[in-house]
Amino acid sequence: MKHVNRRSLLKGAAAAGAVGAMSQAGLLEFAKAWAQAAPWKPEKGAKLTILRWKRFVQSEEDAFMALVAAFSKATGVAMTVLNESLDDVQPKASVAANTGQGPDLFWGLYSLPHLFPTKVVDVTDVATYLGKKYGGWVPSAETYGRSGGKWIALPIGYNGNVINYRQSLIAAAGHKEVPKDTAGFLDLMKALKGKNTPGGFALGRASGDGNAWVHWCLWAFGGNVVDAKDKVIINSPETVKALEYAQQLYANFIPGTASWNDSFNNKAFLSGELSLTNNGVSIYAAAKADAGKDPKMKAMMEDTNHALWPVGPAGKPTEFHVAYPMMIMRYSKAQQAAKAFMAFTLEAENYDKWLIGSVGYLTHPLNAYDKNPVWTSDPKLTVCRDVAKRTLTAGGLGSVGERAASALADFLVLDMFASVCTGRTTIKDAVSVAERQAKRIYR
Amino acid sequence: MPEAVLREPAAPLKPPTLLSRLMVNRDWLGFWFMLPAAAFLVLFLAYPLALGIAYSFTDAKIGQDIGSANFIGIENYQWLIGEFDCKWEWAAFWSRLFGGDFGALGALCKIVGDDQFHLAVFNTLFYTIVASVLKFAIGLYLAVLLNNHLPFRAVIRAIVLVPFIVPTVLSAIAFWWIFDPQFSIVSWSAKQMGLATENINFLGEPWNARWSAIFANVWRGVPFIAITLLAGLQTVPPSLYEASTIDGASRWQMFRYITYPLLTPIIAVVMTFSVLFTFTDFQLIKVLTNGGPAGSTELMATLSFNRAILGGQRIGEGAAISTAMIPFLLACILISWFGLQRRKWQQGEAND
Amino acid sequence: MTDKTAPLTDSSEGMRYLERVPRKIVTVYVPLGIIILVLLFPFYWMTITAIKPKEHLLDLNTHNPFITWSPTLDHIYDLLFKTDYPVWLWNTMLVSVVATVLALLASVFAAYAIVRIRYRGAQWVGGLIFLAYLVPPSILFIPLSTVIFNYGLFDTPFALILTYPTILIPFSTWLLMGYFKTIPFELEECALIDGASRWQILWKIVLPLAVPGLISAGIFCLTLCWNEYIYALTFINATEHKTVPVAIVTALTDGDQYRWGSLMAGALFGSLPLVILYSFFVEHYVSAMTGAVKE
């Protein structure tokens, strides 16, 4: 325990040094003043352990660790930050919730808190405080954060899952920009394949990228797992159309996407093998971070751009971005300290810097942060500003609850698409398999 | 071993006090000596085994006590195995039969159950059977090769065993990298040699992924089988070969009528182990494909892990999948047990 | 089959005059060479990946991927000093050694009792222990995880130290039974007549004679522990409690980028202790492996 603790803190301190001595001093002063005024007083000798998903953008983590260090110094709360890969956060959190031991705070994905709504602390007071101060929560944040009239988690940030593409290769395939409709988009994918510079989306069990694109596809054609009353309606002509479309897309993908997890498209894109994929802006951020020392990366950065998802027959945007909710576990002995920490991270003095550090990878859940300079400083990042407002929520039309969380955790939609695309089953069989599974989850 | 001599160690010759001391204490002494091993095996093997079967009849979630879980009978098994959905129409049956469409016979009656479970059972059987056969064939061949008069024989034997020493997960990572969809060294070499025009889709296409996983499993399993069979080969008396050479036997005949019969008992044991461990494999698949693409390489062991520990944390359902493996294992053990018994009796050996 | 009196000679020796060198090249050396090449290639690939500069790893076209002219220790440095790798290695060793010692102790008593004390039902118990070897961890880990929670062992080294012996005991008991059987009974009889207790006989007479068996069993147990994955994956939560096989898979990723160099270095270093141990005791290892099967 000690080992990681020390290392994390050292790293945080060093990173804070990198951000700039002045800003760090400023952060600490603010933190001290804030700790005096804040309504949540950490318990005496409180210790907090946070388990978060492992960073995708180094400077995002640096900014996070800087604010962790500032919070720790100002309040005297000893902080430990644990990192787990995206796919591992949910199982760890579930085990902790059911056994009543583990980290105080979890920072996970999508509807994670809804898997165990009774095992987390009510944070309505923090949500109200922040909502009032920063122009209100975006609607999807309310959906993800609330359960039964109270807030059970705060979506600290979103990750805009957008189309990443190479401008030069799109142009060579006869397109100035990524088409705004599904038919045009298929043409683009075909043209890219024709030029021998194919694109591709992850179809392995990738929590982030895989879920993002298959849900977009399902919803774009009007398909849904459940209706507004949580009745299973996945077996519909719309679902079949979505699967047929995905099948056509897959035929024009780069080989191997069915074995991709969240990391494969990053490395393929950065090495120049992949012309178009879906991802956060972390590919661009990685190229940008190395652009100074590597001319190849500089060229890659200049050629990379982002676009929002095309709109399908459903007639409205059907994007599915990643929400990152943070929750306090009920067994925690330092719940006030944890609440103070959650509020602290979303204060403008911290959150603005964090957004800048994450170079567009994280998007804010509070309206006031629309004005953050990161959205205007680099036009290639502007697409991510509104993702929290645009995203649909887990469960689609239905409720964001334990059942939606289960369906997501079982990769119900993703497996349906993967079986069809890889040709393992027919569309009809894949749909009926998914329907049977959905009915068990939503019984 | 001369069992019979040891069994009753010259008891009548010893003074009665010693004899009674031995006999009186024997059972209790045995109990105390067995206690540590028995404690481990009962607490962490027999009890969980029974508990697992009990959990499979509940809807327990992870971390939940068996006491607080709901008993749901065989619902988990019903859900996994499913039920027959038969549309038995004689007209359709005859028309298909006479139309020569024998494959469609199956389509008249099908099982509607958990597709992923059915697939996992198929994958597990396919993986076990194909990998075991390959491991046996290549292992035996390698053992015969190694049984030749070779320079540096000890070194070569030591090298051959290395894949078996190295933890499976670590070599699986190496294979994961070798089978990478974009940066595979094999794809690159094939392209350089003009054998392929684009990258080989090792793990992204259902059958390719199955064969890739089988390759990695065979790679790791062959050394164990080869070295064990080699030890068996070396106990075959050379005089038998000399005699048959004089009788003009061919190499194949020597193998078929001398080597193979003498090797059969050891083959039976080694293959039982191999089949059992392949059947219950977890780590290789978990690291290499994680069951993908679309469940094409999911084994029963990895599926039970996904259901019980990942995903919805349905311990009960996961336990039902694990429990479903037991009949397969028992069948396998019984087959080799009786096969072996017959052998041993024939050779008049002690049975232990 | 178990006729160990037969001389261990090369079976082909008797007819070696039939073999001419060119024929032997085709029938023996070439196939053997190919098999060994395939068996060893993954290790070569691990090594070369571990010392290749990062930018060469994903660029197969400008640099020949099979060799590198600019080896670097960056990946290894990153692995050893920027991750908890030393901690994971220590965890693995601790768990393996303690579990092996526990298992050997329990097995020595059990094997001795079955072979020499011959209490009522000893044969039967011997058969049960062999069956226990055939119960795989992959059907036990789910109920065991709840047992581990209930005993309060979750996420502690004891979760592994106490469960690994169940994998080891059946095997090492079986192996030691074979060794104990070969020790002449007369030695024990004399000691018994002299008034020695069973305990003394075991420690003073039987164990010293069974040292080769203990080494074989110990080495094999260590490799089994080192190789174990599913229990370590299920029962351990915190990064700093993980063992090498588990940690390497889950911890050596940078968000969405795999650090292939460090990953391969980690796989290599994780195997190294075993390979070193094995190279010293290769004969013991082989005898353990084949002995367990032949008994």
- Whether residue C239 and residue A99 make contact (CB cut-off 8 A), yes or no, is no
* Torsion from C-alpha of A127, A130, A135, A138, nearest 10 degrees: -40
Instruction: Could you list the beta-strand ranges (E) of B195-271.
Output: none
Q: What is the pLDDT of residue B39?
A: 92
Q: What is the pLDDT of residue B232?
A: 86
Q: CB-based contacts of C124: which residues, under 8 Å, 6+ apart?
A: none
Q: What is the pLDDT of residue C3?
A: 40
Taking residues C117-139, what's their average pLDDT? Answer: 85
- The domain in which residue B289 lies consists of 114-346
Q: What is the pLDDT of residue C205?
A: 82
What are A223's two structure tokens? 């398909």
Taking residues A358-370, what's their average pLDDT? Answer: 91
Confidence of residue A22 (pLDDT cuts 50, 70, 90): very low
Q: Which CATH architecture has domain A2-158+322-390?
A: 3-Layer(aba) Sandwich (3.40)
What's the CATH number where B249 sits?
Answer: 1.10.3720.10
Task: Return the CATH fold of A162-320+410-441.
Answer: D-Maltodextrin-Binding Protein; domain 2 (3.40.190)
Q: What is the pLDDT of residue B222?
A: 94
Residues of chain A with CATH 3.40.190.10: 2-158+322-390, 162-320+410-441
What are C206's two structure tokens? 């039987």
Whole-complex ipTM: 0.86
Q: What is the pLDDT of residue C240?
A: 84
For C258, which residue in chain A has the nearest alpha carbon?
A263
Q: Which residue has the tokens 């079949």?
A: A240
For A422, which residue in chain B has the nearest alpha carbon?
B205
> Over 90: is that where the pLDDT of C35 sits?
yes
For C129, which residue in chain B has the nearest alpha carbon?
B41
* From C1, C31, C170, residue closest to B265, measured CB to CB: C1
B271 and B177 housed in the same domain: yes
Q: Which of B315-324, C3-12, C74-83 has the lowest mean pLDDT?
A: C3-12
Peptide bond into B293 cis (omega under 30): yes
pLDDT digits (tens, 9 = 90+) for B221-266: 999 999 889 888 888 888 888 888 888 888 888 888 888 888 888 8
Taking residues A207-229, what's their average pLDDT? Answer: 92
Q: Which of A106-115, A216-225, A400-409 has the lowest mean pLDDT?
A: A400-409
Q: Which residues of A touch C253 (CB under 8 A)?
A: 54, 85, 263
- Find out whether B274 and B132 touch, Cβ atoms under 8 Å: yes
Q: Sign (positive/negative) of CA torsion A280, A286, A291, A296? A: negative
B204 and B327 housed in the same domain: yes
B174 and B284 housed in the same domain: yes
Taking residues B263-272, what's their average pLDDT? Answer: 84
B226 and B275 housed in the same domain: yes
Of residues A344, A263, A332, A322, the one with CA closest to residue A106: A332
Q: What is the pLDDT of residue B4?
A: 40
Of the candidates B113, B132, B154, which is a domain's last residue?
Answer: B113
Q: Which of residues 46-105 of A touch B (CB under 8 A)?
A: 87, 90-91, 94-95, 97-99
B210 and B293 housed in the same domain: yes
User: A112 φ, ψ to 5°?
Assistant: -45, -50
Helices (H) and strands (E) in chain B, counts: 17, 2
Q: CB-based contacts of A384: which residues, under 8 Å, 6+ apart?
A: A160, A162, A281, A306, A360, A361, A363, A375
State the nearest Cα–Cα gap between A55 and chain C, in angstroms: 5
Taking residues B114-126, what's their average pLDDT? Answer: 91
Q: Is residue B30 part of a domain?
A: no
B176 and B306 housed in the same domain: yes
Report the relative pairing of strands A78-84 and A47-53 from DSSP bridges.
parallel
What are B109's two structure tokens? 């009656």
Q: What is the phi-psi region of residue C184: left when phi exceeds 0, alpha when psi lies from -120 to 50, beta otherwise?
A: beta
Residue type (1 letter), C160: L
Give CA–CA dist A50/A68, Å, rounded. 10
Mean pLDDT score of chain B = 82
Q: Which residue has the tokens 């989850």?
A: A441
Give CA–CA dist A410/A285, Å, rounded. 31
Give CA–CA dist A118/A113, Å, rounded. 9
B226 and B331 housed in the same domain: yes
> Over 80: is that where the pLDDT of C13 sits?
no
Report the relative pairing of strands A154-159 and A362-363 from DSSP bridges.
antiparallel
B107 and B158 housed in the same domain: no
B244 and B281 housed in the same domain: yes
B272 and B342 housed in the same domain: yes
Q: Is residue B68 part of a domain?
A: no
Report H helices in A150-208.
167-172, 182-194
Q: Which residue has the tokens 């804030």?
A: A34
**A202 interfacial to chain C (CB closer than 8 Å):** no
* From B291, B293, B313, residue closest to A203, measured CB to CB: B293
State the nearest Cα–Cα gap between B124 and chain C, in angstroms: 13
Q: Which residues of B touch C135 (CB under 8 A)?
A: 45, 49
**C84 interfacial to chain A (CB closer than 8 Å):** yes
Q: Is residue B277 part of a domain?
A: yes
Q: Which residue has the tokens 């979890």?
A: A106
For C151, which residue in chain A has the nearest alpha carbon?
A99
Give CA–CA dist B303/B286, Å, rounded. 10
> Over 90: is that where the pLDDT of C7 sits?
no
> Over 80: is that where the pLDDT of A10 sits?
no
Give CA–CA dist C171/C129, Å, rounded. 8
Taking residues C158-169, what's their average pLDDT? Answer: 93
Greatest alpha-carbon pair distance for chain A in Å reads 65
Number of separate domains in chain B = 2
Write down the CATH number for the domain with range C79-294: 1.10.3720.10
pLDDT digits (tens, 9 = 90+) for B10-66: 444 445 555 555 555 677 888 888 899 999 999 999 999 999 999 999 988 776 778
* Burial of A397 per CB tally in 10 Å (0-12, 13-18, 19+): middle
> Over 90: is that where the pLDDT of A89 sits?
no
B181 and B245 housed in the same domain: yes
Q: What is the pLDDT of residue C257?
A: 67
pLDDT digits (tens, 9 = 90+) for A35-84: 888 888 888 888 999 999 888 888 888 899 998 998 998 888 999 998 88
* Burial of C20 per CB tally in 10 Å (0-12, 13-18, 19+): exposed
Q: What is the pLDDT of residue A13?
A: 41
Q: Which of residues 401-440 of A touch B (CB under 8 A)?
A: 406, 409-411, 415, 418-419, 421-425, 429, 433, 436-437, 440
Residues of chain C with CATH 1.10.3720.10: 79-294
- DSSP state, residue A308: P
Q: Is residue B8 part of a domain?
A: no
> Over 90: is that where the pLDDT of C93 sits?
yes
Which run of H or of E encompasses A247? helix A237-251
Give CA–CA dist A83/C251, Å, rounded. 8
Q: Is residue B199 part of a domain?
A: yes
> Over 80: is that where the pLDDT of C236 sits?
yes
Q: Secondary structure of chain B: what % helix, strand, coil (to 5)?
A: 70, 5, 25
Q: How many residues does chain A have?
A: 443
Q: Is residue B5 part of a domain?
A: no
Confidence of residue B340 (pLDDT cuts 50, 70, 90): low
B339 and B194 housed in the same domain: yes
> Over 60: is that where the pLDDT of C255 sits?
no
Give CA–CA dist B59/B76, Å, rounded. 8
> Over 50: is that where the pLDDT of A14 sits?
no
- Find out whether A442 and A230 touch, Cβ atoms under 8 Å: yes
> Over 70: is that where the pLDDT of C292 sits?
no
What are A272's two structure tokens? 């120049």
Interface of B with A (CB under 8 A): 61-64, 79, 112, 114-116, 181-183, 198-206, 209, 289-296, 309-313
* Burial of A148 per CB tally in 10 Å (0-12, 13-18, 19+): exposed
